[in-house]
Structure 1
């Protein structure tokens, strides 16, 4: 793997921080390459060379947070990371994934609706595999493969955005519903 130059890494960090700030203040709709370049103190050409376009920049924002989240559930402290009982880890994972999804809801909404299968693969497969493993340890009698999909479905960005924005459901209510499902499933 080719190592990133120090100045390139510094520019990348400044660009991502500037883009995060713009998304936080204006939403994904306010994410323009020119505004990000100005806020980061780099040329617009640098952004286009590095990220390709606006969607490439959005995916880089998602990727940065995704790496942090995956590190937390794969090797972080319990109960999200190793060291807790599998059932406890499932609950911690679902609550953390709820927060992670809400944190970047507009970016994930854009990413998950880019194509018919855009939600699946990459991160979804990591979440699914993690849940399958944990559920299988607690409930070897259930079809953990399909149960994992059922648990992940309420956190699809389009559904979560609709429920939160159109129906007034807050993330606390979503987490409570997931906890109820897990209580029934995992006892």
Structure 2
């Protein structure tokens, strides 16, 4: 009982709501086929936004497509190194994410977890008893939003420094997906 009281005081009431987060263009600025940890730059204010969301009781899950591995541009070790650097820069602990999925396949290869597949989200919803109605999939690409739609969670479009192509705009319009400049702006709306 004491342990639960401590957790409540540190993070607010524990709830079954989650932020499923794309990596590139959501937590860090998008560098085409990022593979060098030295090039990873965290979105300004992302650390504070995550701290606020954590205080509000949100759990975090990292959901990233890394087709550069499948294309032969870099290795899984490069992806792991970038993820470690992300955790270092965010400085919120190595256990920040309750789950991480990396889909390394080329877009033309079969994949169970490559977004827009909802498989990972559905697995985490079942495993951690998350409420899809109070959970969000944040990302900067239509595959992120479609993943959220496919899993029954709320998609959120982030246009962190770039314009969306026409097909992405059409998806936003068709599904009335909210658009924010960054994770910082989105988290500020949570209550």
TM interval, shorter chain, is 0.3 to 0.5
- What is the TM-score normalised by the length of structure 2? 0.33
Query: If each structure's helix is expressed as a fraction of its own residues, which one has the higher value?
Result: 1
Query: If each structure's strand is expressed as a fraction of its own residues, which one has the higher value?
Result: 2
- What is the TM-score normalised by the length of structure 1? 0.33
